[in-house]
Structure 1
């Protein structure tokens, strides 16, 4: 996921109190692969960035995607198809961290022999709750590291481009091009590719690399690319070329958009029209001046 860390709840009385009790976690995301029956261990580090000791409780939960921006929410359905929680344990559930220090926390993933192939998604959460000394303000914070596990075996890889969007008309750049990927498979997929932007004459204007972000099963992920130029003029075509999955399946999509700095164009047009009117009205004087000039040159040669 593009958003590797999320806050489930963060209730605090004032920003100064938030500074005194804030925790963070690293790494933000684990992308893991394993076979049914495997067992392995990893470590997260929980940091106390504040100036007072904090009591931390570790939890493990499933998560599911929400919206199209890469955010997630805790999954509470016991029959969640992509559950990982039941396979994960942490070695220490509660502990205290001193100010400006961290605690490594080991967690173990144990896959059953009949683990279903495909994607399984969970988060190792660190939570802090208590009362701030001196103020009595209640503080509650949960922050987690995401686990994206792919179990080897026959999984369905199916990714499509739901749509590709750009403003139909803009006066100036930059222009944001949004590609919406829909995952109808059973494992997370990360499209790889680029967007070729061409002008009305077919000439290359820019080549934009597609941000590599995971798209979870049964979700749509919006990935934005920016044509970071202010001065553009005319009709442009953006063509997305991408691949995904273990067999590099191809994807493509094309969208067109128009960029015309109409106020500048209008000012230039008006100025040009004024010049033409002046020249038109002064044409007789110009012709007469040229005639006199040419006659003078002719008399000088006689």
Structure 2
């Protein structure tokens, strides 16, 4: 299940800071269990003291829910939980309220989860905490805590109900996002809000295709990382869409989450000094200037490159999909239109050549209409004078 991986990515950095300071190790960092109503399961957490002195750890348990629309979970003590429908901490029993570890000692801490008869089907989320120096509820300013995530799936009627509550295009000005419908430069931000009303987490993923006025999909608008089966980075490739939530972030039950993604420009690959390739981005003017350059590889003598201000209408086509029960995929589409402005280079008439040609033609006409007749008249008079003299 990828959900635990996602949650772990949120918390691992904080856990690392704590374990680095306290020189402790704990495993595993999460437990995923499927437990039916009236059933009970037990698991073990291993805690190791890598210090040269003994340490006492105190255990506690809490639920976690979506703290805000950014998706950051918030821990809630059992007594502060408003409803038991999605509570998990009340049904967790920890074998030890505290444990003292000698230097270098590893201890197994057993916990059990018992599912009551009326528990809501779906996923329930909680954590077991280990804190040094003060028991749970002690009056201290700050107590560092290390936690293990507990994720329990209760089989039953999984209810799916969701809503796409927002899809906007933004611009950032002085580190503040403003909704706009016209842009002169990158990045352009896309903001998608997804609301999950029911009893299981959802993992929505999006692809935003950008379509121009000619109904052509814009190419190379984003990059996608290629990784090995083990998750190691290999290289980056360019794609013709903007992936949103390609990391697979989840939306917890009874919560709303905002996903913010940016269009950085038009991608191109650049060879690095170590032989690898990375993706860079061109801005609007650079991109359309390069497209014009492709058309002007060979200019005729009467052609020239000109620049003009262009307003181009872009349609962002949002395609949403998520996994429902039995791995069934659900899809949804929505669009948003905005305008981009840029300086476009195009092939036009070389006005210098036109002026020269007009001067030549004008000179020819002037010579024919003015100079030539006078020359002929002068020549005629000379001939008449010569004839008279003879």
TM-score, length-scaled by structure 1: 0.70
Alignment of 1:149-298 (within 5 A): 149-167=152-170, 168=180, 169-205=182-218, 206-211=240-245, 212-229=248-265, 230=281, 231-232=283-284, 234=312, 235-246=314-325, 247-260=328-341, 262=342, 265=343, 279=351, 283-288=354-359
Counterparts of 2:19 and 2:119 in 1: how far apart (Å)? 41
Alignment of 1:60-209 (within 5 A): 60-75=61-76, 76-77=80-81, 79-96=83-100, 105-129=109-133, 140-167=143-170, 168=180, 169-205=182-218, 206-209=240-243
- Encode CA deviations 1:2-57: one digit per residue, 9 max, x unaligned: 444559x99xxxx9x99633767555554543322333234445566878654322
SS of the equivalent of 2:351 reads helix
- CA-CA distance at 1:195 after TM superposition: 3.0
- Cα contact 1:194–1:210 (8 A) shared by 2: yes
- Encode CA deviations 1:209-260: one digit per residue, 9 max, x unaligned: 4422221222101123343424247324131221342143333322233333
Counterparts of 1:98 and 1:259 in 2: how far apart (Å)? 65
TM-score, length-scaled by structure 2: 0.56
SS of the equivalent of 1:82 reads coil
- CA-CA distance at 1:69 after TM superposition: 1.3
Structure with larger Rg:
2
- CA-CA distance at 1:148 after TM superposition: 3.1
- Cα contact 2:86–2:120 (8 A) shared by 1: no
SS of the equivalent of 2:143 reads strand
User: Structure 1 regions of 5+ residues with no counterpart?
Assistant: 131-137, 294-302
- Encode CA deviations 1:101-157: one digit per residue, 9 max, x unaligned: 875544322223443323322111122236xxxxxxx86212323333231112321
User: Structure 2 regions of 5+ residues with no counterpart?
Assistant: 135-140, 171-179, 219-239, 266-280, 286-311, 365-390
Counterparts of 2:199 and 2:129 in 1: how far apart (Å)? 24
Alpha carbons of structure 1 residues 36 and 286: separation in structure 2 relative to 1, 3 Å? same
State how many pairs are aligned.
270
Counterparts of 1:149 and 1:256 in 2: how far apart (Å)? 42
- Encode CA deviations 1:144-185: one digit per residue, 9 max, x unaligned: 233332311123211111112222343333433222110111
SS of the equivalent of 1:166 reads strand
